[in-house]
Structure 1
């Protein structure tokens, strides 16, 4: 499903228990310097990631200062974040005007909060200009945090160069059937550079049968409940998407490549390194 760009007024775009993607949560906060926002998510762990700006986060008796160093947009520096345990109050205070992503996943245990600084990111780059699949992934809560987080995976994905495809070969993760696949609900929020750029999100429910396609713009949110879901950006533009994954039975993601296109894995340099970073 596509949720068009809109002013959500700091209210959840994907709330707890959403019927379409019940395993994930997503909010965007827009805070002026000095403004604060408090929240608590019973049964959901979360991660606070400034898209732009700098914030202070208070949680479980700890204060995490100077989180986020980006200026104009998500291309202007590296991401940082703070992990917020399930059912734990958190307060975010903007030190300068900030736009803040709050990503969540269903998880019933309460762990400990921690900060992810720019130097802690797990970065992987794969694909190639020739295959039109060149991209970089910056894992904020990735494999490096596996023993500190419950079911939540949080990453930022960037196309490298202008134009091209992402999420190809097409894959899905909507059924728990280990070792081949896990059920992970997913949510994207897209940005484009320049901002008037746009792209396409495909969602093919069944191999070799027609699916859906959504025109995504700067600020679009897409919910991935089931099916194969590649996306692309128009030639001449760069694409970014903030990615939230919430697992049903485990944190590690097992992707199932679409049978019709699975052999394309062999044509894309470094793709199996990318797959490994989600486990």
Structure 2
């Protein structure tokens, strides 16, 4: 069994508020970078885009954002990630940008991916324009906020949020996207930045491959990051605990084509619940 799945705990915040930082080099892959920051009012974090596009997701609170492509003030507004859809700003590569804590401060996710063709024009992604949709059924029902998915303009980045109620599963049925084999499947690296309520709770994430050379189950706590380089993956919220995660995905082609675990693909069927008879071939 390999040890590929890494849980990055929150560190003591740096001078600019960063408490989790992942680069392609530190992750051992090629595309996805991610940072989580907490910013006090007036505290500023500056970054060089370095050929990367960036989606700045305001997880909670308010920020002001400045770049060569424009300035956006009072971005954000929700008090916590469980309360509605997020405000975000998309920035193409080129020069430095700054994120400043406003109001009572903020928690922010910086989502990075390569943009060798220059990305697309900068824009604010207003919370009112981020759809909140229900996905799944019964104990794998969850709410999805598509911040920057395939129908939204970008060069490489895919960004979404998921709220998983107490006792439910998400990223379910377990699915994978680790082969560059379109149209059936695409290669996408992925990070999961988790928030947990209550904050002293925990969540569970399993990642595994068909041949089980990768088969790991990890527990994560509030403000921890799980890196998923390959394999089927799913997330579970224990009773009494609700989960939020911010997903960042990127790969050689900007699309979202995945394969379900064949043993559990039947659970994706509309209305499939634990009250329905288990298919004959899956009975013990």
Tell me which interval the TM-score lies in, with the shorter structure as reference length. 0.7 to 0.9
Q: In the comparison of the two structures, how many residue pairs are matched?
A: 262
Cα offset, 1:120, TM superposition: 1.1
Partner of 1:112: 121
Aligned mates of 2:212, 2:20 — CA distance in 1: 35
Q: Which runs of 5+ in 2 are unaligned?
A: 1-5, 273-284
CA 188–176 in structure 1, closer or farther in 2 if over 3 Å, else same: same
Are the equivalent residues in 2 in contact too, given 1:154–1:244 (CA < 8 A)?
A: yes
Q: Which of residues 257, 260, 263 in structure 1 aligns to 2:260?
A: 257
| Residue 11 of structure 2 corresponds to residue 6 of structure 1 | yes
The answer to whether 1:121 aligns with 2:124 is no
Alpha-carbon distance change, 196 to 106 in structure 1, aligned in 2, over 3 angstroms: same
Q: 1:133 to 1:207 in 2, by over 3 A?
A: farther
**Unpaired segments of 5 or more residues in structure 1?**
270-279
Q: Specify the alignment match of 1:276 in structure 2.
A: none
The question of 1:91 aligning with 2:95 is answered no
Provide the rounded CA distance (Å) in 1 between the counterparts of 2:270 and 2:36: 37
Question: Could you list the per-position Cα deviations for residues 10-43 of structure 1 after superposition, in whole angstroms to 9, with x for gaps in the alignment?
Answer: 2652124334332101111221111211111223
Alpha-carbon displacement from aligned partner over 1:80-105 (angstroms, at most 9, x marks no partner): 10001123421112112111110111
| Structure 2: distance between partners of 1:184 and 1:133 | 23
Q: Answer with 211-220 or 34-43: which moved more.
A: 34-43
1:235 aligns with 2:239: yes
Match of 2:178 among 174, 178, 201: 174
2:59 to 31, 48, 51: 51
Is 2:235 aligned against 1:222?
no
Q: Is contact 1:122–1:142 with CA below 8 Å preserved after alignment?
A: no
Question: Normalization by structure 1: what TM-score?
Answer: 0.88
- Measure the CA separation in 1 of the matches of 2:204 and 2:19: 26
Q: 1:137 to 1:15 in 2, by over 3 A?
A: same
In the alignment, what sits opposite 2:30? 22
Match of 1:189 in 2: 193
Change (3 A) 1:8 1:32: closer
Who wins on radius of gyration, i.e. which is larger?
Answer: 2
How far apart in 2 are the matches of 1:74 and 1:260? Answer: 33
Tell me, what secondary structure is at the counterpart of 2:267?
Answer: helix
SS at match of 1:192: strand
Match of 2:206 in 1: 202
- Does the Cα contact within 8 Å between 1:141 and 1:153 map onto a contact in 2? yes
Corresponding position of 1:277: none
**Contact map agreement 2:75 2:88 (CA 8 A) in 1:** yes
Cα distance in 2, alignment partners of residues 17 and 109 from structure 1: 21
- Larger deviation, residues 202-211 vs 234-243: 202-211
